Chain A
C-alpha cells in the first residue's frame, strides 16, 4: 500500500506520521506542498502542525497551496484522504468535509490523552476495529468543531460523524468534551466516507512507550482495509 504525507511550511507531525505509516507496512512518500502532482497513492495524509503559522484561520493558507488541488481531485475521485489535527483544519477549509474548527471553548491549548467512541464502522477507516472506544492523544488550540444547524442535520442524516469524545466506557457527555465541539465531535467524514478529518493523533499512540497502542490498532486495521 502506498501513502503520501504532505508537508506544509509549519507542519510538525509529518515525520511522526511517516514513522507510523511505515511501521504498519505502508510505503510512504513525503510530498512538498509546492509540488503539483501527487505520487500514486492509496492514502494521502495531511499531518498535524501549524501550517503557515496558523495565520488568518488555521489551515486556510495551506488549503490554497499548490499540491492541494491534486489532493482535492484525488478525494473527489474517491481517493482516501485523512487529515489529522491541523490536517483536519485544512480539510474543512477546502470544503472537503463540512464545518469549521473554532478556538477551544476555554481558550486553552489542550494537550492530553482522550477517549473517543467510534460512531460508524461502515467505512474503510474503522471497519473491523474490535474496540468501540479508542484512546488517542490531542494537542490543539482550535479543535472546537462547529457547523450550521442545516449542516449538522445533513451530517447526522448521512451518518458522517466518525468519532466522538467520550469517557473510557464510551459514554458521550458534555463533561468529556475537551474543547466545546458540537455533539462532542472529534472527527467527521465527507458524505462518501473516503475523506476523514479528526483532531486526535493516532500516530502518537503506536508504542507502549508512547503512552499507548490504540493508534497501532487503527493503522493495522487501516492497511488491511485498504488491501
Chain B
C-alpha cells in the first residue's frame, strides 16, 4: 500500500526559500501571488495491508523522523 505524506512549515516559521521563489515568480510576471511556502512530499510504500494500521505507522514515522514538530506540520493522505 502506498501512503503519501505532505510536510509543511508552520504558519509563523520564516520560509526564506518560499520567499525567494515568490520573488522569482513576481519577476517572471506572475504578479498576483500572495505568498509561497515550500514543503516536502513523501510516498511510502509499505507491506502493511490494513489501512488504519498503515496510517498509524506512518503517523509514528512523521513524529519520529519525517517532520520536526517544532517547525513543521504533517498531513497523511488517505491511501486509495
Query: A223 an interface residue at 8 Å Cβ cutoff?
Result: no
Q: Which of A10-18, A31-39, A95-103, A167-175 forms part of the interface with chain B?
A: A95-103
> Are the C-beta atoms of B68 and A146 separated by less than 8 Å?
no
Please measure, in the bound complex, the distance between the C-alpha atom of A103 and the C-alpha atom of B38, giving whole angstroms. 12
Q: Which of B13-21, B27-35, B44-52 forms part of the interface with chain A?
A: B13-21
> Are the C-beta atoms of B71 and A146 separated by less than 8 Å?
yes
Please measure, in the bound complex, the distance between the C-alpha atom of A180 and the C-alpha atom of B71, giving whole angstroms. 16
> Are the C-beta atoms of A64 and B65 separated by less than 8 Å?
yes
Interface size on B, residues (CB 8 A): 10
Query: A57 an interface residue at 8 Å Cβ cutoff?
Result: yes
Residues of A close to B17: CB separation below 8 A: 103, 107
Residues of B close to A214: CB separation below 8 A: none
List the count of A-B residue pairs having beta carbons below 8 Å apart. Answer: 33
Please measure, in the bound complex, the distance between the C-alpha atom of A64 and the C-alpha atom of B65, giving whole angstroms. 8
In the complex, how many angstroms separate the beta carbon of B73 from the nearest chain A beta carbon?
13
The answer to whether residues A148 and B68 also contact, given A103-B17, A107-B17 and a CB cut-off of 8 A, is: no
Question: CB < 8 Å: which of A93, A103, A148 contacts B16?
Answer: A103
Query: B66 an interface residue at 8 Å Cβ cutoff?
Result: yes
> Are the C-beta atoms of A102 and B71 separated by less than 8 Å?
yes
- A90-114 vs B, CB cutoff 8 Å, 1 = contact: the mask equals 0001000001101111110000000
Query: A60 an interface residue at 8 Å Cβ cutoff?
Result: yes
In the complex, how many angstroms separate the beta carbon of B65 from the nearest chain A beta carbon?
7
The SS class assigned to the A binding surface is: loop
Residues of B close to A151: CB separation below 8 A: 70
> Are the C-beta atoms of A60 and B65 separated by less than 8 Å?
yes
- What size tier do the contact residues of chain A reach? 10 to 19
Residues of B close to A102: CB separation below 8 A: 13-14, 16, 71
Q: Which of A142-187 contact B (CB under 8 A)?
A: 144, 146-148, 151, 180
Residues of B close to A99: CB separation below 8 A: 70
Question: CB < 8 Å: which of B14, B16, B20, B70 contacts A147?
Answer: B70
> Are the C-beta atoms of B14 and A180 separated by less than 8 Å?
yes
Extra inter-chain contacts (18) besides given A102-B71, A107-B20, A146-B13, CB under 8 Å = A56-B66, A60-B65, A93-B68, A99-B70, A100-B68, A100-B70, A102-B13, A102-B14, A103-B16, A103-B17, A104-B16, A105-B16, A107-B16, A144-B14, A147-B70, A148-B70, A151-B70, A180-B14
Residues of B within 8 A of A (CB): 13-14, 16-17, 20, 65-66, 68, 70-71
Provide a sorted-by-A list of 17 A–B residue pairs whose CB atoms are within 8 angstroms.
A56-B65, A60-B65, A64-B65, A93-B68, A99-B70, A100-B68, A100-B70, A100-B71, A102-B71, A103-B16, A106-B16, A107-B17, A107-B20, A147-B70, A148-B70, A151-B70, A180-B14
